Amino acid sequence: MKVLIAEDNAFSCKLLVKTLEKAGYTAVVAEDGDAAWSVMQTEQAPSMVLLDWMMPGLQGIEVCERIRSLERTVPPYIIMLTAKADRDDVVQGFEAGADDYLKKPYDSSELLARMKVGARLVQQQALMHSLIDALPDPIYVKDSRGLYLGCNDAYAAFAGIDKDQIGQKQATDVLPDAQAYKTHMDDLRALAADEPIESEEWTVDADGKKVCHYSMRVPLMESSSGLRGLLVLHRDVSHESLGEKQLRYQHKLSVLGSMLSYVSHEFKNIINAIMGFASLGLDSVDKENEAYEYLDDIHASGEGAKKLLEKLLDFSNKENQEMELLVLSDVVEDSLGLVRMMKAPSVALEFSAEAELPTMYGDRVQLQQVVTNLCVNALYAMEGRESAVLTLRVETALAKHSDEPSILFSVEDTGCGIPVAAQEDIFEPHFTTREGEGSGLGLSIVKTIVEQHQGIIEVESNEGVSSCFRLRFPAKV
């Protein structure tokens, strides 16, 4: 991951570069505030920023405010580096848009720990946006005033607008007049409600095609500030029968459920890290200190967020399969975009597939979830390793204990391996080898999906050297 270091002290800057590159980050250096601002305006701007408060030219606080004024799908994670310890200064930094701050002089291990939290948040935000963009259903988000905040590719195509230009526009700027008025009124009614509202209506897309949309409008609430905005999802049900509609209502949108399953249990890792830092802070200050109350609020908010994620996981783990005839190598290849986005530069990704593979019956979304979960686990196992390799293969093999053809999918990494004592338990729910980080749900979900496809999963690991997961699925004869 690329990190901008905005620091005018040459010695401190050189030390930061060395520390970050040793940890696997790519450092970009700016010696003053103006240079930092120039870097962050480029298309390939770094995903994280270490920003010194006091610099020549623009001060760090001004640079932070300007960065937050940019419209970015995934905003950069900003850590302020400052010798200022006054509470008002810290509050000013957060109000300017900083995500975290670190008081000079700081310990490099603490800096890297905080950056690890930031990197995960950036990666998960990018992943979530990619997943939402990949959905075929039009989705948009509005603020509490009814103005667009953003949308996915499907909604941009439906409305005939560039999704990067939709921010802060009204419905009348995006849709035909009559359609805009109805959409705006429906959205306002949903904003006034305290629970999701479902509806079905005929509408017209940008090409003039008449479509029937099943719509779900979900108010976005924050416990501290109340209503935040509205999320709206449309699904084209023009050709669905009554039975298919009932099935759709019962299963609560399988694609969205699968996305929630992955994103929810990974976001739990980030929340645990935030709560961990809050706990450390609570242990470090007296109860009479004003900061104690703030830290206690952070910890309590984290507990609430964890409970919300558990509800999302309960929802998304319900069985909901849409089986079709497919080629497994195509499913794997479709999942690699996300994997390439998440992997460190030091990790090489190798993928091979046997020519003319037999087909199999499977749920494409669930199988993509299997591929993503296994690859994410492999990337975690290779963190900090130089010249690491992630190898994916799809080939034909004979089923175990029979002559029937099967499809073998393997995921092999050159990471830290799995302890022998843990190999029998890794597929159990909530079991994790990443103490305090993982939720223990990833491999449990993988095993459940594989078994629902009449497949089997095996693991072979050499602790400290490598791991290989092999999945066998019955081929269509």
pLDDT tens, 41-62? 888 899 999 988 888 888 888 9
The one-letter code for the residue type at 330 is D
Pairwise CA distance, residues 382 & 384, whole Å: 6
Taking alpha carbons only, the member of 468, 462, 459 closest to residue 392 is: 468
* Segment 42-47 long-range contacts (CB within 8 Å, at least 24 positions apart): 44/2, 45/4, 45/72, 45/76, 46/1, 46/2, 46/3, 46/4, 46/76, 47/1, 47/2, 47/3, 47/74, 47/76, 47/77, 47/119, 47/122, 47/126
Predicted local distance difference test score (pLDDT) of residue 311 = 47
Give the pLDDT confidence score for residue 226 in this predicted structure: 57
Cα distance between residue 270 and residue 263, in whole Å: 11
Taking the C-alpha atoms of residue 153 and residue 73, their distance in angstroms, rounded to an integer, is: 12
Enumerate residue ranges in the chain where pLDDT < 70: 85, 222-227, 239-266, 304-321, 399-403, 429-441
Instruction: Give the model's pLDDT for residue 260.
Output: 56
Yes or no: domain 323-474 corresponds to CATH 3.30.565.10: yes
**Token pair for residue 146?**
């009814």
The residue to which tokens 């950056």 are assigned: 115
Distance CA(397)–CA(348), nearest Å, equals: 26
Residue 76 DSSP label: P
- Pairing mode of beta strands 466-474, 456-462: antiparallel
User: What is the reported pLDDT for 308?
Assistant: 52
What pLDDT sits at residue 242? 42
C-beta atoms surrounding 403 within 10 Å: 6
2-107 has which fold? Rossmann fold (3.40.50)
pLDDT per residue over 71-111, tens digit each? 777 889 999 888 876 788 888 888 888 888 888 888 889 99
Boundaries of CATH 3.30.565.10 in the chain?
323-474
User: Any idea which fold 138-252 has?
Assistant: Beta-Lactamase (3.30.450)
Q: Which amino acid is at 266?
A: E
pLDDT of residue 257: 54
As beta bridge partners, residue 458 has 470
Side-chain-side CA neighbours of residue 309 (13 Å): 20
248 phi and psi angles, rounded to 5 deg:
-65, -45
Whole-number Å distance between alpha carbons of 234 and 214:
6
pLDDT of residue 227: 61
- From the list 181, 229, 219, the residue with the least C-alpha distance to 203 is 181
The model carries a pTM of 0.42
Beta bridge partners of 410: 393, 470
Count the Cβ atoms, other than its own, within 10 Å of residue 145. 10
Locate 112 and state its tokens. 């890297």
CA of 350: how far to CAs of 177, 357, 385, 389, 392, in Å? 51, 18, 17, 7, 6
Q: Which of 298, 278, 281, 279 is nearest to 289 (CA)?
A: 281
